[in-house]
Amino acid sequence: MQHIDVIVTVYFVQDLQFWYGAGPGQPTAAAQGIGYVQELVSRLTQMPITDFDSSVNSTIVSSNITFPLNQPIFVDASHDTAIASSMSDCSCVICRSGP
């Protein structure tokens, strides 16, 4: 039984580290996720991004070849920390309660 307690504790500590290190518990998480949200809104509205004061790469999103806006399906890949930051930026209700 003690072995299970150690495993649960280790996972809980990892959750806390993620929550406060890269997730909604991190005060700068929303600022880190704004670029991803801007790109998502740009694709959904089919309007180009014109304001480049965030983490958006202006070289990539200014080109119709590397950032097409007229496609019926988009597939974006990201890392869990970027997703957590983006959810924080969107004020995701699930993220408000804490670990």
The string of pLDDT tens digits covering residues 7-20 is 888 889 988 888 88
**CA-based nearest residue to 80, from 12, 19, 7, 11:** 19
Least confident window among 8-17, 66-75, 76-85: 76-85
Measured CA to CA, the distance from residue 41 to residue 36 in angstroms comes to 9
Measured CA to CA, the distance from residue 49 to residue 16 in angstroms comes to 35
5: pLDDT strictly greater than 90: no
